[in-house]
Amino acid sequence: MLSVLTEVENLGLLQVVVVVVVIVLSVVVVVVVVVVVVVVVVVVAAGAASAAAAVVVVVVAVVIATGAVVVERL
């Protein structure tokens, strides 16, 4: 634990915040992708392929936008 605190002090508060933000955003993106995959599977199972395609387009747009935000923050 002490070594972790030392590393945090060496990194500086701003870099630590950036790392935490990137980790949180990564987790959020993973959760969103999992939820969307489940939704797409359910929609396809219901036989609405066009709705599934629309959901996929929205998800791709969200992932691209999130990636752009992460890169911008770095």
How far apart CA 54 and CA 50 sit, in angstroms, is 6
Does residue 62 lie within any of the structural domains? yes
Render pLDDT for 19-58 as a digit per residue (tens, 0 to 9).
888 888 888 888 888 888 888 777 777 666 677 677 788 8
Residue showing tokens 């945090």: 8
CA angle centred on 40, ends 39 and 46, rounded to 5°: 90
Does residue 10 lie within any of the structural domains? no
- Domain residues for 29? 18-73
Does residue 42 lie within any of the structural domains? yes
Q: How many domains does the chain contain in total? A: 1
> What does the pLDDT read at residue 31?
84
> What does the pLDDT read at residue 19?
80
Does residue 2 lie within any of the structural domains? no
Q: Which two tokens stand for residue 68?
A: 């752009």
Does residue 4 lie within any of the structural domains? no
Does residue 24 lie within any of the structural domains? yes
